[in-house]
Structure 1
Amino acid sequence: MMRVGLKWKIAAWCAALLLVTQAGGLLLFGEIGRSSAHDDAREELQTGHRVFDRMLRERTGQLTQAARVLSADYGFREALLSGDRDTITSALANHGGRISADLMLLLALDESVIASSPFDPGSTPDRLHQLIEQARRSSTQDGGGFAVVSGSLYQVVVVPVMAPLPVAWVVMGFGVDQRLMNELKGVTGLEVSFVRLGAEQPGWKLVSSTLAEPLQSELLQRVPASSIRVEPVTLSLSGHDYVSRLHAIDAGGQEQVGAVLQLSLDRALAPWQRLYREWAGLSLLGMLVALLASAFMGRSIASPVVRLAEFARRVESGEYGKPPTVARGDEIGQLADAFVHMTGTIASREARITELAYYDALTGLPNRAYFAERLDEYIREAGARSASVAVVSLDLDRFKMVNDTLGHDFGDLLLKEVARRLREALRNVRDQVARLGGDEFAVLLPDADARQALGVASRIAEAINQPMNLDGQVVDVSASMGVSACPEQGVSGRDLMRQADIAMYLAKRHNSVAEIYDPRHQDQNVERLSLLSELRKAVERDELVLYFQPKVSTQPDRVHHVEALVRWIHPTRGFVPPFEFIPFAEQTGYIKAITLWVMNAAVRQCGQWLANGLEVNVSLNISARDLLNPDLPAVFADMLRQHACPARLITLEITESAVLDDPLRALANLQALRDTGCALSIDDYGTGYSSLSYLRQMPVSEMKIDRSFVMHLLDNPNDEIIVRSTIELAHNMGLKVTAEGVESEEVLERLRALGCDLAQGYLISKPIPADALERWFRDSRWAQSPDAAPAPAVRPSTGAALVTAD
Structure 2
Amino acid sequence: MLTSFRSRLIALLLGLLAMVQLGTAVAVLSSLKEDNYKQGVQAIDVAKNVFDLSLGSRADQLTKGVKILASDFAFKQAVATQETATIGSALANHGARIGADVSLLIAPDGKIIAATKELNIAQTVTRLVQSARRSGGAAINTMISFDGQAYQLVLVPIKAPNTVAWVGMAFLLDKKLAEQIKAVTGLDISFLGDTNGGQDFSGYSTLPERDKHDLFQEIQDVAGMSEKPQFTNADKYLSLSIHLTAKDQWGVLHLPYKPWLESYNRARNQLLWIFTGALALALLVGILLARNLTAPIERLVEFARQIGLVGSDAKAPAVTGEFCVLSNTMMSMQSSIALREEELTNRALHDLHTGLYNRNAVEQHLASMLPRENGCLVLVDIRHFKDLNNMLGFDNGDALLLSVTERLLGWASHAVMQARIAGDQFLLVFESEITPEQCHSLCACFDPVFIVEGSEVHLSVAVGILPFEETITSVNDAMRRLDITVDRAKEESAGFVFYQTGQDESHQRQLRIIGDLSTALESQQMFVVYQPKVGVAGKDCNEAEALVRWQHPELGFIPPDEFISLLEQAGNIQLLTHWVINRVLSQLKVWWRDGHRIRVAINLSAHDLVNEQLPKFIEQALKENELPVEALALEVTESAVMKDRNKVIQVLNGLQSLGVHLAIDDFGTGQSSLAYLRELPVNEVKIDRAFIQYIDTNKGDEFIVKASIELSHSLGFQVTAEGAENIEGVALLEHYQCDKIQGYYFSKPLMADDFLQWQQAFQPA
Interval of TM-score (by shorter of Structure 1 and Structure 2): 0.5 to 0.7
How far residue 447 of structure 1 moved from its aligned partner, in angstroms, is 2.4
Q: CA deviation digits over 1:498-522, x for unaligned, max 9?
A: 4322322444577873332233223
Alignment of 1:4-23 (within 5 A): none
Residue 656 (str. 1) matches residue 638 (str. 2): yes
| 2:425 aligned residue | 440
| 1:279 aligned residue | none
Residue 391 (str. 1) matches residue 377 (str. 2): yes
How far residue 346 of structure 1 moved from its aligned partner, in angstroms, is 2.9
Equivalent residue letter for 1:352: E
Provide closer, same or farther for how the CA distance between residues 493 and 597 of structure 1 changes in structure 2, counting only shifts above 3 A: closer
Equivalent residue letter for 1:366: Y
> In the alignment, which of 497, 509, 517 is matched to residue 527 of structure 1?
509
> In the alignment, which of 743, 768, 779 is matched to residue 725 of structure 2?
743
Look up the SS of the partner of 2:351 in the other structure: coil
Residue 317 (str. 1) matches residue 311 (str. 2): yes
Structure-2 separation of matches of 1:534 and 1:344: 55
Structure-1 separation of matches of 2:474 and 2:575: 39
Alignment of 1:209-220 (within 5 A): none
| 1:226 aligned residue | none
Q: CA deviation digits over 1:311-333, x for unaligned, max 9?
A: 3424643648658879999xxx9
Look up the SS of the partner of 1:519 in the other structure: coil
Structure-2 separation of matches of 1:778 and 1:339: 93
Look up the SS of the partner of 1:697 in the other structure: coil
Identity rate, percent: 31
| 1:421 aligned residue | 404
Equivalent residue letter for 1:429: A
For structure 2, the 5+ residue unaligned runs are 9-286
- Whether the aligned pair in 1 keeps the contact of 2:382 and 2:462 (CA below 8 Å) is yes
TM-score by length of 1: 0.52
> In the alignment, which of 596, 602, 609 is matched to residue 627 of structure 1?
609
Residue 308 (str. 1) matches residue 305 (str. 2): no
| 2:657 aligned residue | 675
Residue 369 (str. 1) matches residue 360 (str. 2): yes
Equivalent residue letter for 2:549: R
How far residue 721 of structure 1 moved from its aligned partner, in angstroms, is 2.1
Structure-2 separation of matches of 1:469 and 1:656: 41
Alignment of 1:199-598 (within 5 A): 304=297, 307-314=300-307, 316-317=310-311, 319=313, 339=330, 342-343=333-334, 345-372=336-363, 388-396=374-382, 406=390, 410=393, 413-414=396-397, 417=400, 420-421=403-404, 423-424=406-407, 427-430=410-413, 432-449=417-434, 452=435, 454-462=436-444, 479-487=461-469, 490=472, 495-507=477-489, 513-556=495-538, 560-571=542-553, 575-598=557-580
Structure-2 separation of matches of 1:474 and 1:779: 70
Alignment of 1:68-87 (within 5 A): none
Deviates more, 1:439-448 or 1:567-576: 567-576
Q: CA deviation digits over 1:711-753, x for unaligned, max 9?
A: 1112222212221222222222222221111011111111122
- Whether the aligned pair in 2 keeps the contact of 1:553 and 1:759 (CA below 8 Å) is yes
| 1:719 aligned residue | 701
State which structure, 1 or 2, has the greater radius of gyration over its C-alpha atoms. Answer: 2
- Whether the aligned pair in 2 keeps the contact of 1:363 and 1:416 (CA below 8 Å) is no
| 1:600 aligned residue | 582
Provide closer, same or farther for how the CA distance between residues 777 and 649 of structure 1 changes in structure 2, counting only shifts above 3 A: same
Provide closer, same or farther for how the CA distance between residues 415 and 733 of structure 1 changes in structure 2, counting only shifts above 3 A: farther
- Whether the aligned pair in 2 keeps the contact of 1:703 and 1:738 (CA below 8 Å) is yes
Provide closer, same or farther for how the CA distance between residues 710 and 325 of structure 1 changes in structure 2, counting only shifts above 3 A: farther
Provide closer, same or farther for how the CA distance between residues 646 and 481 of structure 1 changes in structure 2, counting only shifts above 3 A: farther
| 2:194 aligned residue | none
How far residue 305 of structure 1 moved from its aligned partner, in angstroms, is 6.2
Provide closer, same or farther for how the CA distance between residues 462 and 312 of structure 1 changes in structure 2, counting only shifts above 3 A: same
Residue 695 (str. 1) matches residue 695 (str. 2): no
Structure-2 separation of matches of 1:337 and 1:542: 74
Deviates more, 1:687-696 or 1:605-614: 687-696
The structure showing larger relative contact order (alpha-carbon pairs under 8 Å, at least 6 residues apart) is 1
Q: CA deviation digits over 1:685-723, x for unaligned, max 9?
A: 222333544433322222211111111112222212221
Structure-1 separation of matches of 2:477 and 2:365: 14
Provide closer, same or farther for how the CA distance between residues 699 and 470 of structure 1 changes in structure 2, counting only shifts above 3 A: farther
Structure-2 separation of matches of 1:426 and 1:344: 34
Structure-2 separation of matches of 1:470 and 1:736: 55
| 2:744 aligned residue | 762
Deviates more, 1:412-421 or 1:702-711: 412-421
Look up the SS of the partner of 1:614 in the other structure: coil
Structure-2 separation of matches of 1:422 and 1:362: 10
Equivalent residue letter for 1:317: G
Q: CA deviation digits over 1:742-795, x for unaligned, max 9?
A: 011111111122232211100011000111111111112xx42xxxxx7xxxxx
For structure 1, the 5+ residue unaligned runs are 12-295, 785-789, 791-806
Structure-2 separation of matches of 1:402 and 1:642: 52
Look up the SS of the partner of 2:664 in the other structure: strand
Provide closer, same or farther for how the CA distance between residues 375 and 769 of structure 1 changes in structure 2, counting only shifts above 3 A: closer
Structure-2 separation of matches of 1:607 and 1:511: 53
How far residue 426 of structure 1 moved from its aligned partner, in angstroms, is 5.4
How far residue 532 of structure 1 moved from its aligned partner, in angstroms, is 3.4
Equivalent residue letter for 2:403: R
Q: CA deviation digits over 1:293-349, x for unaligned, max 9?
A: xxx9x99999946742433424643648658879999xxx99989847734633543
Provide closer, same or farther for how the CA distance between residues 693 and 616 of structure 1 changes in structure 2, counting only shifts above 3 A: same
Provide closer, same or farther for how the CA distance between residues 624 and 448 of structure 1 changes in structure 2, counting only shifts above 3 A: same
How many residues align structurally?
A: 481
Equivalent residue letter for 2:378: V
Structure-2 separation of matches of 1:642 and 1:528: 35
Provide closer, same or farther for how the CA distance between residues 727 and 518 of structure 1 changes in structure 2, counting only shifts above 3 A: same
- Whether the aligned pair in 2 keeps the contact of 1:506 and 1:515 (CA below 8 Å) is yes
Equivalent residue letter for 2:404: R
- Whether the aligned pair in 2 keeps the contact of 1:621 and 1:653 (CA below 8 Å) is yes
How far residue 411 of structure 1 moved from its aligned partner, in angstroms, is 6.4
